[in-house]
């Protein structure tokens, strides 16, 4: 996930990074849906998670211009995987199932789980995993970076 | 190159028909199913000439991290160190790239391999053509097209086995992306991020070969099944389908099994023929005691056999039949998708729905299946919920039969009480237990029409397993009750249980005997309560209270032993210590609700 700047104190941080304590955080029960500034504690909503927020953005015509990750792709759209981020063991599983940088995927649906097709393989996965699947802008398969794991 | 063949291991991705090919090769039938992760154990068989054949759980990579993949990797490791060992890799002809990932790893290990391109018929229907000889040239191993379900190509596979060769091992992979898979198998740890890079590099090579030898698909696969597979996980249409599947299961198990067949066997066969015959036979015996042991109120035939064969057997048989159909159709992973959101509340992953549904068949088997869950926390949570609130098919059937005898409102009180207790315990346990919920990721195999042969064979195997495992316990339990009754100990136990059974739950004192055998098997206890309610010993309200208590009661001895084996003695003791009081409290709560509703007795 890209770094964001806290509108309260101007501190720049990466949500879900080392400063964030998802486990044990009382706000994270059932999944973390807010970004808290690690410096001042100011809370911002996670717009990627909110269906309504995405809908409002789309209404204004600037909803997710380039689908940076799978979480920003719309059902029926197809894209080429750029790189993968997230838990290492999870990535080892994803790659073994054929989801690798350079592979073309098609998003079938977003709820109740993301369903994607890669060739003859169909996978179902949750939002948190989808956020770690980065896609190439446009349709061209350019140079790719390797897999990056957080641990 | 001739090898003296001693052992063949079947290896391949999940859902490529390994078990079916194993059956076709050896003539022996094993667990053939459509959910990634059901063949946890390794099946064995033999080929003519005494060659040993092993089936293995599906794997996507020898460097994979799941329980199944570790088991499969251990089998390969053993094979590498055995002379005369050959891998028969089974591939989905439509999805060659993922099979080649494993082939390359076998090449790194230098294990002699034969590649079976299975489900060749499905590929042909789609207009996918794989050039087997071109593939054999690029990979360096014999390649045979097969259709395991119709035995096509099975003879050719058998003939190819002695000509197995290690796959070519000269892949253009950057050295920093490579992993020494041999050292990995020996337990040398590699950073998982490195594993992901390695998979990506292997798949790059696999893609190039697969593209060269495969013609692109022209026709989409069986459009009706494909559409059905898609709407089965649709955010709106998925729910009516889920309801229809559960409804159909209820019809088969609840109506056909628990009512039609039980009536036929219990009333007609045992009540009308077997029991009177045995009773009259027993009256001829010189010793009264022996006669009672066989045909008395706690008789081995009149209670033990008639409960086990006439009430429980038809119910488990119909359940296993329905479950085998679900398994082979490929619906179960889709059920996991639909359940993920709800299970998240309980700190679980959608995959936990599989042990939960399987638990409706047998909690003991389901406890073994909790291995597929990614984290320890989830495994313990699922084990607890299984032990607490998931009635096994035997018990569920008996409960459904009891429910059909009381007004519908009482049924809702039962379902509501059990669901509420599960939810409360699940919510609390999810917060109390340390650890995290694993990310939800599941592969959706194509929906397939189940083969009648597979479904029946699997049902037969499970029924046989039930008869061997449960029936002796029914007899032991009956014998124990008989002895307790004769020595006067039963009366003492009933007195001892009075504060709980009579005062707290408001049940007749004789129900203590039912709960006592509940420590052996819950379904046995439920059957006893069913018997009591049928003969008017329980009022409708008492029936519901008894049902809630016995649904939540301690699971059977076998389950407790499996919990201890899988999760450790401490976890097992804690689970038992939680379940027992919760069961009593649940029963008391149901009694209270009934009293508030004004229908309590």
What's the complex ipTM?
0.79
Contact A113 B350 (CB under 8 A): yes
Mean pLDDT of A116-124: 92
Binned at pLDDT 50, 70 and 90, residue B217 comes out as: low
Most confidently predicted of A28-42, B372-386, B450-464 = B372-386
Identify the band that residue B282 occupies on the pLDDT scale cut at 50, 70 and 90.
confident
CA B546 to centroid of chain Cα atoms: 28
The burial of A26, by beta-carbon neighbours within 10 Å (0-12 exposed, 13-18 middle, 19 or more buried), is given as exposed
pLDDT of residue B180: 84
CB-nearest to A95 from B97, B196, B442 is: B196
- B2 pLDDT above the threshold of 60: no
Question: Which of chain B's residues have a Cβ under 8 Å away from the Cβ of A94?
Answer: 196, 441
CB–CB of B337 and A147 under 8 A?
no
Flag if B439 and A109 touch (Cβ within 8 Å): no
Assess whether pLDDT exceeds 50 at residue B1.
Answer: no
Report whether pLDDT(B68) > 80.
no
Q: What are phi and psi of B450, to 5 degrees?
A: -65, 145
Q: Do A122 and B436 touch (CB under 8 A)?
A: no
Of B65, B95, B431, the CB nearest to A119: B95
Least confident of A87-101, B34-48, B301-315, B402-416: B34-48
**Arithmetic mean of pLDDT, B316-332:** 86
Residues of chain A with Cβ-Cβ distance to B442 below 8 Å are 123-125
Is pLDDT above 90 for B86? Answer: yes
Instruction: Taking residues A6-33, report their average pLDDT.
Output: 67
Among partner residues A124, A129, A147, which is closest to B337 by beta-carbon distance? A124
Q: What DSSP assignment string belongs to A102-117?
A: T-EEEEEE-SSSEEEE
**Most confident by average pLDDT, A91-95, B22-26, B508-512:** A91-95
In this structure, what are the phi and psi dihedrals at residue B479, rounded to the nearest 5 degrees?
A: -60, -45
Average pLDDT over residues B41-56: 79
Å from A18 to nearest chain B CA? Answer: 16
DSSP H or E segment with residue B118: strand B113-118
Higher pLDDT, B233 or B494: B233
pLDDT tens-digit profile of B132-162? 999 999 999 999 999 988 889 999 999 999 9
At residue B35, the pLDDT reads 40
CB < 8 Å to A111, chain B: 235
Return d(Cα B279, Cα B294) in angstroms, integer.
8
pLDDT at residue B432, as a whole number: 86
* H or E element, residue B591: helix B569-597
Q: What are phi and psi of B48, to 5 degrees?
A: -55, 140
User: Residue B83 burial (CB < 10 Å; 0-12/13-18/19+)?
Assistant: exposed
Question: For residue B366, what pLDDT is reported?
Answer: 81
Identify whether the C-beta of residue B490 lies closer than 8 Å to the C-beta of residue B484. Answer: yes
Give the pLDDT mean for B214-231.
Answer: 77
Rounded to the nearest angstrom, the minimum Cα separation between A23 and chain B is 7
pLDDT score of B3: 54
Chain A contact set for B62 (CB, 8 A) = none
Quick one: pLDDT band at residue B268, thresholds 50, 70, 90? confident
Task: Please compute the mean of the pLDDT values over residues B307-313 and round it to a whole number.
Answer: 80
Consecutive H or E run containing B24: helix B18-26
pLDDT of A142: 42
Instruction: Note whether A88 contacts B442, CB cutoff 8 Å.
Output: no
Tens digit of each residue's pLDDT (9 = 90 or more) over B529-542: 888 887 888 888 88
Q: What is the pLDDT of residues A47-91, one digit of tens each?
A: 777 778 777 877 776 544 556 899 888 899 999 999 898 888 888
Q: Is the pLDDT of residue B259 over 50?
A: yes
Q: Among partner residues B191, B345, B442, which is closest to A88 by beta-carbon distance?
A: B191
State the Cα–Cα distance between residues B478 and B474, nearest whole angstrom: 6
* Helical (H) or strand (E) element with B472: helix B452-487
Confidence category of residue B30, pLDDT binned at 50, 70, 90: low
> Which residues in chain A are contacts of B92 at CB distance < 8 A?
120
Of the two residues A41 and A85, the one the predictor is more confident about is A85
**Among A85-99, B37-51, B512-526, which stretch is predicted with the lowest mean pLDDT?**
B37-51
pLDDT of residue B71: 80
Residue-averaged pLDDT of chain B: 83
Q: In this prediction, what percent of chain B has a pLDDT beyond 70?
A: 96
Mutate to test the interface with A, among B200, B216, B228, B233 (most CBs of A within 10 A): B200
Lowest mean pLDDT across B26-40, B131-145, B408-422: B26-40
> Does B397 have pLDDT greater than 50?
yes
Determine, for residues B193 and A112 on separate chains, whether the beta-carbon distance falls below 8 Å: no
b/e A29-52 (16+ beta carbons within 10 angstroms → b): eeebeebbbbeeeeeeebebbeee
Determine the pLDDT at residue B26: 81
- Residue B60: predicted pLDDT: 92
The minimal CB distance from B443 to the residues A113, A122, A147 is found for: A122
Residue of higher predicted confidence among B508 and A2: B508
pLDDT above 90: residue B99: yes
Q: Residue A32 contacts by C-beta under 8 Å, 6 or more apart in sequence?
A: A16, A20, A22, A25, A46
Q: Considering only alpha carbons, which residue of chain B is nearest residue A114?
A: B337
Question: A114 falls in which pLDDT band (50, 70, 90)?
Answer: very high
Q: Which residue of B has its CA nearest to A120?
A: B95
* Closest in B92, B440, B445 to A125, CB measured: B440
């Amino acid at each position: 996930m890209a770094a964001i700047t806290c509108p309260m104190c101007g501190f720049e941080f990466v949500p879900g990074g080392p400063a964030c304590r998802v486990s044990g955080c009382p706000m994270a029960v059932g999944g973390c849906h807010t970004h808290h500034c690690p410096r001042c504690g100011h809370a911002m909503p996670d717009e990627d998670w909110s269906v309504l927020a995405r809908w409002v953005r789309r209404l204004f015509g600037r909803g997710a211009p380039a689908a940076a990750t799978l979480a920003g792709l719309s059902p029926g759209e197809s894209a080429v995987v750029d790189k993968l981020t997230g838990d290492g063991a999870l990535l080892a599983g994803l790659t073994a199932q054929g989801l690798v940088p350079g592979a073309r995927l098609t998003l079938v649906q977003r709820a109740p789980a993301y369903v994607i097709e890669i060739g003859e393989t169909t996978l179902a996965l949750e939002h948190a995993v989808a956020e770690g699947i980065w896609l190439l802008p446009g349709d061209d398969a350019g140079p790719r970076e390797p897999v990056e794991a957080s641990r | 190159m001739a090898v003296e063949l001693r052992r063949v291991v079947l290896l391949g991705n999940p859902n490529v028909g390994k078990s079916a090919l194993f059956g076709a090769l050896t003539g022996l039938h094993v667990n053939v199913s459509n959910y990634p992760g059901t063949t946890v154990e390794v099946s064995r068989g033999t080929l003519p000439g005494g060659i040993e054949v092993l089936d293995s759980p599906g794997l996507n990579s020898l460097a994979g991290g799941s329980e199944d993949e570790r088991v499969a990797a251990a089998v390969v490791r053993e094979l590498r160190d055995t002379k005369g060992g050959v891998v028969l890799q089974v591939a989905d002809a439509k999805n060659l790239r993922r099979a080649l990932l494993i082939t390359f790893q076998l090449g790194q290990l230098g294990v002699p391999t034969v590649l079976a391109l299975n489900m060749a018929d499905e590929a042909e229907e789609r207009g996918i053509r794989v050039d087997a000889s071109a593939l054999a040239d690029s990979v360096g191993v014999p390649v045979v097209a097969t259709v395991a379900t119709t035995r096509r190509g099975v003879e050719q596979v058998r003939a190819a086995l002695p000509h197995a060769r290690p796959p070519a091992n000269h892949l253009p992979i950057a050295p920093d992306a490579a992993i020494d898979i041999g050292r990995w198998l020996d337990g040398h740890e590699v950073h998982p991020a490195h594993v992901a890079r390695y998979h990506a590099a292997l798949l790059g090579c696999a893609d190039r070969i697969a593209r060269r030898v495969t013609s692109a698909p022209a026709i989409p696969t069986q459009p009706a099944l494909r559409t059905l597979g898609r709407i089965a996980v649709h955010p709106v249409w998925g729910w009516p389908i889920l309801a229809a599947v559960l409804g159909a299961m209820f019809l088969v198990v609840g109506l056909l099994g628990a009512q039609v067949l039980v009536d036929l066997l219990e009333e007609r066969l045992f009540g009308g023929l077997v029991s009177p015959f045995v009773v009259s036979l027993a009256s001829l015996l010189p010793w009264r005691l022996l006669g009672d042991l066989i045909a008395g109120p706690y008789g081995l035939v009149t209670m033990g056999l008639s409960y086990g064969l006439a009430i429980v057997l038809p119910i488990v048989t119909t359940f296993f039949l329905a479950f085998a159909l679900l398994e082979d159709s490929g619906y179960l992973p889709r059920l996991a998708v639909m359940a993920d959101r709800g299970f998240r509340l309980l700190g679980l992953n959608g995959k936990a729905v599989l042990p939960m549904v399987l638990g409706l068949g047998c909690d003991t088997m389901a406890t073994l299946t909790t291995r597929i869950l990614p984290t320890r926390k989830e495994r313990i949570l699922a084990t607890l919920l299984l032990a607490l609130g998931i009635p096994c098919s035997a018990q569920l059937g008996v409960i459904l039969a009891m429910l059909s005898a009381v007004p519908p409102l009482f049924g809702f009180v039962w379902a509501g009480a059990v669901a509420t207790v599960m939810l409360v315990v699940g919510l609390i346990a999810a917060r109390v237990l340390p650890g995290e919920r694993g990310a939800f990721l599941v592969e959706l195999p194509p929906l397939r029409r189940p083969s009648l042969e597979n479904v029946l064979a699997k049902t037969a195997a499970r029924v046989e397993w039930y008869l061997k495992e449960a029936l002796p316990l029914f007899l032991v339990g009956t014998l124990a009750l008989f002895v307790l009754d004769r020595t006067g100990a039963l009366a003492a136990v009933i007195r001892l249980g009075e504060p709980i059974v009579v005062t707290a739950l408001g049940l007749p004192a004789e129900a203590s005997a039912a709960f006592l055998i509940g420590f052996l098997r819950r379904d046995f206890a439920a059957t006893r309560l069913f018997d009591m309610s049928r003969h008017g010993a329980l009022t409708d309200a008492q029936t519901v209270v008894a049902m809630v208590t016995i649904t939540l009661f301690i699971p059977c001895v076998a389950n407790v032993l499996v919990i201890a084996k899988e999760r450790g003695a401490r976890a097992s003791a804690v689970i038992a210590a939680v379940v027992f009081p919760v069961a009593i409290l649940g029963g008391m709560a149901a009694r209270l609700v009934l009293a508030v509703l004004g229908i309590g007795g």
